[in-house]
Chain A
Amino acid sequence: MGKKPSINLKSRERLVSWAFLAPSFIGVMVFFIIPFIVVILYSFVDSPITKDFVFLDNYAALLQNKSFQTAAKNTLTFSVIAVPLSVLLALGLAVLLEQKIPLKSQFRTFFLSPIMVPIASIVLIWQVLFHQNGTVNLFFSNFGADGVDWLKSDYSQIVIVILFLWRNLGYHMILFMAGLSHIPNELIEVARIEGASSWAIFYKVKIRYLSPTILFVTILSIINSFKVFREVYLLTGDYPYGPLYLLQHFMNNMFRSLDYQKLSAAAVLMAIVITALIAILFIAENRYGKDVEG
């Protein structure tokens, strides 16, 4: 007769598959999910030690904190400027590389090259460019304009935006190129046969098909725009001038003073904002790009 199995076939398989998942799952729970729940709890209490429930007091204190307000405003401003620019310019570059120009793959490499240069390595040149006595000012002085200490001025964000774009455009461009390559050729051919101009094809056909990619690149840009702290820190150190004081700087200060209440509240607040942002983008993409999903 046949063998009698100790456990059902399917359930033994499932057990093994959980084993595969375990290291990642345990790690994520231990280092992210469980402590984050603690963080949420901390944001509602007076201090980790006394644990008096204070509800939304921490959040109120946070929102009224001047440093936080500055940091939030700066971070937001930066993202609002940098993200659309990076999406549009990257799309432009991708389209550029689609045209009939020579040496396409070399250009692609060149555009992508900034991604592999460590920020720390490139910071020096940037300082030379934008210092009070730096090259950019030298350039402007040729036209009789006075130089500005860029990193210590109200225009400091411009420097960082340029740096951000320099680093990230290549990567975003590749994403758009991948998106463009996924557009079924037949559609474009049909449009062409029906006499549509290149511009029309671009707007009506390509953009619609690109909408998931646009969504993805936008989200990625937003994420990367928060990472821009790295560039700022390496350029200006712990205490940057005004517009460069970002949320991460604020967080660092809170870490230093071990202000757990503000720390937790800020983290939770940011998490909510990011999640909401992503949700909005997803819904927008769903509405607009639904029919081209395939």
Chain B
Amino acid sequence: MASLLLKDICKVYPGDVQAVSDFNLEIADREFIVFVGPSGCGKSTTLRMIAGLEDITGGELYIGESLMNHVEPGKRNVAMVFQNYALYPHLTVYENMAFGLKIRKVPRKEIDTKVNEVARTLDIAHLLGRKPKALSGGERQRVALGRAIIREPDVFLLDEPLSNLDAKLRAQMRTEISKLHQRLGTTFVYVTHDQVEAMTMGNRICVMKDGFIQQADTPQNIYGRPANLFVAGFIGSPQMNFMDATLRKSPDAYYLELSHSAHARLAVGERNSPLSSYIDRPVVIGVRPEHLEIGRAAAGSGAAIAGTVEIVEMMGAETYVYVDCGELSLRVRFGGEAPVNAGEQVRVAVNESKIHIFDPETGVRIP
């Protein structure tokens, strides 16, 4: 059981390719943290640096109290589940799980006890005699988990373990991994490109892009107060709606003038000073699909945008409606069925209290 500290970690490949930069993160003991981001954002690289499979170009890595930069992977007491499981094909499930213990010269009897115990926990006891190629994807996954668990490591590293499974299995394994974490109480570091996994599994999420941490926080905060445009757009499905606007000040309040043909004005009320430097300057507004409402085209208030319904996607429990508002395409989420049809003229109303405002150049959130 251990905490991790990554201090100014960076990774540069030959040819000056900067894969990870300025990575600072403290991971508490027993925490389940998810690194999420698009391909190439550096999440796997960082994970591998923690594992010791990649050299750390700069910065310091601490597991527990110990500096681990130059410690061999085998001596860091971490375990890893690979994307393709990496189960030794010529060994049985039993032998795969026993491998690490055998290397450490653990006595036969103890190995036997442990393997059987772990196999029972993961419900793979009936597979012990089989070889990996005789197993299904889900079964292999569990063996990979078993192999990692059996060494009772300080940290669990998981590199996109669910991406090779079909959707149904993935959903099932998600909960199983979460339960595993609760049961074991070990620190979990989980890498994925799937934001659903990130949101549902982690105590905290660390969103990465181009080698930098964009935001590291709880799922609620990441969802509710995204730190920049990228995080706002990456997390949340359907994606957040973005609109260009200009901030104006009227005698009693600030308001936003949407730049598009939409011509609407949104009141933002009193906000703190950071907003004041943006008066009469362009900003970017973000609104989540669930914070938009559709009403019939009628003489409306200033806070509604006119458009035509393009597509209505029925998901069952909810409905996504795509509205074409001239230069803007808005995504709206409805619980249950939506009372609109394609081709209808509608007005989209914005829940002004749920607006996120971002600097158009840096993408950073304006609090």
* A-to-B contact residues, CB < 8 Å: 1-5, 8-10
Contacts and interface: CB of A to CB of B under 8 A. Distances in A.
A2 B55 contact: no
Given A2-B71, A3-B71, A5-B70, A10 B65 contact: no
Contacts of B69: 2
Give 6 nearest A-B pairs by CB, closest first: A2-B67, A2-B66, A5-B70, A9-B70, A9-B72, A2-B68
A8 B71 CA distance: 9
Contacts of B66: 1-3
Given A9-B55, A10-B55, A1 B65 contact: yes
Nearest to A12: B72
A61 to B, nearest CB: 51
9 contacts: A1-B67, A2-B71, A3-B70, A5-B70, A8-B70, A9-B55, A9-B70, A9-B72, A10-B55
Interface of B: 52, 55, 62, 65-72
Contacts of A9: 52, 55, 70-72
Nearest to B55: A10
B361 to A, nearest CB: 41
Contacts of B62: 2
Contacts of B70: 2-5, 8-9
A2 to B, nearest CB: 3
Contacts of A1: 65-67
A8 B69 CA distance: 10
Contacts of A4: 70
Given A3-B71, A4-B70, 9 more contacts: A1-B65, A1-B67, A2-B66, A2-B70, A2-B71, A8-B70, A9-B52, A9-B71, A9-B72
Nearest to B62: A2
Nearest to A10: B55
A293 B22 CA distance: 41
A3 B65 CA distance: 11
Nearest to A4: B70
A4 B66 CA distance: 11
A9 B69 CA distance: 9
A223 B334 CA distance: 74
Contacts of B72: 9
A3 B63 CA distance: 12
A10 B14 CA distance: 15
A71 B205 CA distance: 77
A235 B67 CA distance: 73
B43 to A, nearest CB: 22
A269 to B, nearest CB: 42
Contacts of A2: 62, 66-71
B199 to A, nearest CB: 35
Contacts of A3: 66, 70-71
A9 B76 CA distance: 13
A13 to B, nearest CB: 9
A10 B62 CA distance: 19
A110 B118 CA distance: 52
Nearest to B67: A2
B14 to A, nearest CB: 13
A121 to B, nearest CB: 38
B228 to A, nearest CB: 35
Contacts of B71: 2-3, 5, 9
A271 to B, nearest CB: 35
A8 B65 CA distance: 21
Nearest to A13: B72
Nearest to A3: B71
A9 B72 CA distance: 7
Nearest to B66: A2
Contacts of A10: 55
A131 B170 CA distance: 75
Interface-centre pick from B52, B68, B69, B70 (highest chain A CB count, 10 A) = B70
B13 to A, nearest CB: 14
A73 B66 CA distance: 73
A2 B72 CA distance: 12
A2 B70 CA distance: 9
B254 to A, nearest CB: 53
A219 B55 CA distance: 42
B71 to A, nearest CB: 7
B64 to A, nearest CB: 10
A168 B69 CA distance: 56
A1 B66 CA distance: 5
A4 B70 CA distance: 8
